Amino acid sequence: MLADPIAGAVYSTPAAAAADGVHAAADPYEHPHCLQRPAAGAVLVLAPGPTVPPEQAARVATSTAALLEVRGQRAAELRGEQMRLHTTLVRLLLAGHTAAVADTLGGSRLTHVTVYRLTGADVPTAHQVLWRAVGPSLAPHADACTLLGRLDGELVVAELHRGGDDGRVLRLVSRVSERHQLLAGMAGPLPLAEMPTAHSDAAAARHSATPDRRIVPADAVGTSRLAPLLPTAPYARWAGAVRRPLTPAHQHLLLVWLRTGSKPRAAAALGLSAGTVRARIRELSRLLRADLEDATVQAHLLLVLRAPASAEIPGGDGPGPPPPVWRLCRTASWTPRRSGPGPTAWSADWSRI
Q: Which of 76-85, 90-99, 147-156 comes out lowest in average pLDDT?
A: 76-85
Give 115 or 14, the one with higher predicted confidence: 115
Domain ranges of the chain: 2-77, 79-220, 227-325
Q: What is the mean pLDDT of residues 252-278?
A: 81
Give 184 or 260, the one with higher predicted confidence: 184
Condensed to tens digits (0 to 9), the pLDDT of residues 101-111 reads 888 887 667 88
List, edge to edge, every strand of the sheet that includes 8-11.
8-11, 2-4, 42-46, 35-39
Give 190 or 119, the one with higher predicted confidence: 119
Please state, for a pLDDT cut of 70, what percent of the chain lies above it: 78
* Band (229; pLDDT cuts 50, 70, 90): low
Q: What is the mean pLDDT of residues 169-196?
A: 88
Segment holding 2, helix H or strand E: strand 2-4
Nearest to 213 by CA among 178, 240, 188: 178
* Band (177; pLDDT cuts 50, 70, 90): very high
What confidence score (pLDDT) does residue 220 get?
A: 54
Q: Which of 37-51, 172-186, 272-286 comes out lowest in average pLDDT?
A: 37-51
Class of domain 79-220: alpha beta
Q: Quick one: DSSP state of residue 323?
A: P
Q: What is the mean pLDDT of residues 234-255?
A: 85
The backbone torsions φ and ψ at residue 186, rounded to the nearest 5 degrees and listed phi first, read: -130, 140
Core vs surface per residue 254-292: b (16+ CB within 10 A) or e = bbbbbbbeebebbbbbbebeeeebeebbeebbeebebeb
- Alpha-carbon distances, residue 220 vs 38, 72, 154, 185 (angstroms): 40, 40, 22, 10
Q: Which of 45-49, 67-71, 165-169, 226-230 comes out lowest in average pLDDT?
A: 226-230
Rounded distance between C-alpha atoms, residue 301 and residue 307, angstroms: 10
Give 278 or 30, the one with higher predicted confidence: 278
The yes-or-no verdict on residue 161 having pLDDT over 80 is yes
Contact 116, 188 (CB under 8 A): no
Rounded distance between C-alpha atoms, residue 284 and residue 229, angstroms: 28
Rounded distance between C-alpha atoms, residue 188 and residue 105, angstroms: 20
Nearest to 245 by CA among 334, 181, 325: 325
